[in-house]
Amino acid sequence: MVSRRAFTSGLGAGLAALASSRLAGAPGPAPGAAAAPPAGPIGLDSNENPYGPSPRALAALAASPAAAARYPDAREDAVRAALARHHRVAPEQVVLGCGSGEVLKMAAAAFLGPGQRVVVAEPTFEAVLAYARVTRAEAVKVPLTPDHRHDLPAMARACDARTGLVYLCNPNNPTGTIVGAGELDAFLAGVPPETAVLVDEAYHHFVEDPRYRSAFDWLPRRDNLVVVRTFSKVHGLAGMRLGYGVASRPRADALRSQSIWSNGNAGVLDAALACLEEPEHVERQRALLNGTKRRLCEELRRDGRRFIPSEANFVMIDVEGDVGPLVEAFRARGIRVGRRFAALPGFLRISIGTDPEMDAFLAALRALVPARTAA
User: In sequence order, which residues have a C-beta less than 8 Å from that of residue 283 and are 6 or more positions away?
Assistant: none
Q: Does 343 fall in a domain?
A: no
Instruction: With H, G, I as helix, E, B as strand and everything else as coil, classify residue 335.
Output: strand
Q: Does 193 fall in a domain?
A: yes
The per-type count for the chain, helices as H runs and strands as E runs, is: 12, 12
> H helices within 216-309, ranges in order?
249-256, 266-276, 279-302
Q: CA-to-CA distance for 353 and 132, rounded, in angstroms?
A: 32
pLDDT of residue 262: 85
Q: CA-to-CA distance for 190 and 155, rounded, in angstroms?
A: 10
Q: What is the CATH number of the domain that holds 68?
A: 3.40.640.10
Q: Does 112 fall in a domain?
A: yes
pLDDT of residue 69: 79
Burial (CB count within 10 angstroms: exposed 0-12, middle 13-18, buried 19+), residue 56:
middle
Q: CA-to-CA distance for 74 and 54, rounded, in angstroms?
A: 23
Q: Does 219 fall in a domain?
A: yes
The dihedrals phi and psi of 9, each to the nearest 5 degrees, come to -65, -40
Q: Does 34 fall in a domain?
A: no
pLDDT of residue 261: 86
pLDDT in tens, the chain (375 residues): 333 333 333 434 443 333 333 333 444 433 333 344 556 799 999 999 999 999 999 999 888 666 777 889 999 999 999 999 999 999 999 999 999 999 999 999 999 999 999 999 999 999 999 999 999 999 999 999 999 999 999 999 999 999 999 999 999 999 999 999 999 999 999 999 999 999 999 999 999 999 999 999 999 999 999 999 999 999 999 999 999 999 999 999 999 999 998 888 889 999 999 999 999 999 999 999 999 999 999 999 999 999 999 999 999 999 999 999 999 999 999 999 999 999 999 999 999 999 999 999 999 999 999 987 644
Instruction: With H, G, I as helix, E, B as strand and everything else as coil, classify residue 309.
Output: coil
Burial (CB count within 10 angstroms: exposed 0-12, middle 13-18, buried 19+), residue 253:
middle
Q: CA-to-CA distance for 360 and 37, rounded, in angstroms?
A: 8
165 near 191, Cβ under 8 Å? Answer: no
Length reported for the chain: 375
Q: Does 272 fall in a domain?
A: yes
Domain count, the chain: 1
The tally of CA atoms less than 13 A away on the side-chain side of residue 279 is 3
Peptide bond before residue 53 is cis, with ω within 30 degrees of 0: no
Q: Does 337 fall in a domain?
A: no
Tens digit of pLDDT for each residue in 184-205? 999 999 999 999 999 999 999 9
Instruction: With H, G, I as helix, E, B as strand and everything else as coil, classify residue 44.
Output: strand
Indicate the DSSP class of residue 261.
T
- Domain of 167 in residue numbering reads as 60-276
The tally of CA atoms less than 13 A away on the side-chain side of residue 141 is 11
Q: Does 116 fall in a domain?
A: yes
pLDDT of residue 371: 87
55 near 374, Cβ under 8 Å? Answer: no
DSSP string computed for 88-140? TS-GGGEEEESSHHHHHHHHHHHH--TT-EEEEEESS-SHHHHHHHHHTPEEE
240 near 206, Cβ under 8 Å? Answer: no
